[in-house]
């Protein structure tokens, strides 16, 4: 890669959400599935990847304002986001899980009646949570630098009884963490894409074409199987 080329500036939060991503190190380097996808795209485009860390709620505005080139950070392609930015083809398809404290799992949505259920505001996860009859849905705002960590802390302390998020982070957490348990997964098939400003069609086209090439030649599948071995490859 030509390191003198213009960096590919990508927005994301700085959270510990393996295997999706981990916190940035002192040099701004990040590990995980999404950073690996970003590196594939950077290599394909001949541009070094530069992560721009910010709160969740600032990511789409930063794209619209051209403060970054794109957002590659857990963005399900949902109508409210499509109104704000354009998306590439999906780089992932994920389902949604419900996490509880270990020993307090319920078998399905009916068990969440009367319980406080957390999810990120204005997300596909909170839309799903609102379909759980009788659940008291608690939105967590996008002004936090680590909204994912905030929700887990609330679950750990008992402030909420469950958290809705994507299976990519909850399946491994539920298997390995002594405090939390994956209660159930809803097969929603949410498509995740890279968000680009609507007035930057050339940028969108370049990213979309590069993503298509790394999916077609198997490089994308390789990083999927490296980071997400317990999830079926969706393409």
Is there a domain that residue 3 lies in?
no
Give the residue-averaged pLDDT of 155-161.
98
Residues 179 and 165 in one domain: yes
pLDDT tens digits, residue range 67-86?
A: 999 999 999 999 999 999 99
β pairing state of 92-101 and 136-140: unpaired
Is the predicted pLDDT of residue 3 greater than 60, yes or no?
no
Q: Tell me, what's the pLDDT at 211? A: 98
Nearest to 91 by CA among 142, 40, 49: 40
Query: Do residues 101 and 81 touch, judged by C-beta distance below 8 A?
Result: no
Residues 99 and 163 in one domain: yes
Assign 178 to helix, strand or coil.
coil
Task: For residue 147, give Cα distances in angstroms to 3, 119, 120, 203.
Answer: 32, 9, 7, 28
- Residue 141: band (very low, low, confident or very high) from pLDDT cuts 50, 70, 90: confident
Count of the separate structural domains present in the chain: 2
Residues 103 and 31 in one domain: no
Give the residue-averaged pLDDT of 165-187.
93
Residues 134 and 184 in one domain: yes
Q: Tell me, what's the pLDDT at 99? A: 98
Is there a domain that residue 2 lies in?
no
- Percent of the chain whose pLDDT exceeds 90: 92
Residues 181 and 99 in one domain: yes
Give the residue-averaged pLDDT of 132-161.
94
Residues 100 and 184 in one domain: yes
Give the residue-averaged pLDDT of 188-213.
98
Is there a domain that residue 234 lies in?
no
Residues 200 and 121 in one domain: no
Quickly list H helices, 6-146. Answer: 33-45, 59-64, 79-82, 124-129
pLDDT tens digits, residue range 32-69?
A: 999 999 999 999 999 999 999 999 999 999 999 999 99
Residues 58 and 99 in one domain: no
Mean pLDDT computed over every residue of the chain: 95
Is there a domain that residue 143 lies in?
yes
Is the pTM higher than 0.75?
yes
Find the domain containing 120 and state its range.
95-189
- Residue 109: band (very low, low, confident or very high) from pLDDT cuts 50, 70, 90: very high
Q: Tell me, what's the pLDDT at 4? A: 59
Residues 51 and 29 in one domain: yes
Is the predicted pLDDT of residue 142 greater than 70, yes or no?
no
Is there a domain that residue 60 lies in?
yes
Q: Which residues pair with 71 in a beta bridge?
A: 11, 195
Quickly list H helices, 31-158. Answer: 33-45, 59-64, 79-82, 124-129, 147-157
Q: Tell me, what's the pLDDT at 2? A: 58
CATH code, 145: 3.40.190.10
């Amino acid at each position: 890669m030509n390191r003198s080329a213009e960096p590919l500036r990508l927005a994301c939060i700085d959270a510990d959400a393996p295997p999706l991503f981990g916190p940035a190190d002192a040099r701004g380097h990040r590990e995980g599935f999404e950073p690996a996808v970003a590196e594939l795209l950077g290599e394909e485009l001949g541009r070094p990847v530069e992560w721009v860390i910010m709160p969740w709620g600032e990511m789409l505005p930063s794209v619209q304002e051209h403060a970054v080139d794109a957002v590659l950070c857990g963005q399900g392609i949902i109508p409210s986001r499509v109104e704000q930015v354009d998306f590439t083809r999906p780089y992932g398809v994920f389902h949604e899980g419900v996490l509880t404290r270990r020993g307090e799992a319920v078998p399905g949505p009916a068990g969440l009646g009367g319980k406080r259920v957390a999810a990120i505001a204005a997300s596909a996860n909170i839309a799903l949570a609102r379909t759980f009859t009788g659940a008291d849905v608690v939105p967590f705002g996008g002004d936090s630098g680590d909204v994912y960590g905030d929700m887990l802390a609330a679950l750990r302390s008992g402030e909420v009884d469950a958290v809705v998020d994507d299976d990519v982070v909850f399946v491994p957490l539920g298997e390995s963490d002594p405090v939390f348990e994956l209660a159930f997964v809803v097969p929603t098939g949410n498509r995740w894409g890279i968000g680009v400003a609507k007035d930057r069609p050339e940028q969108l086209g370049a990213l979309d074409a590069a993503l298509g090439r790394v999916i077609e030649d198997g490089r994308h599948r390789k990083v999927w199987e490296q980071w997400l071995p317990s999830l079926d490859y969706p393409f």
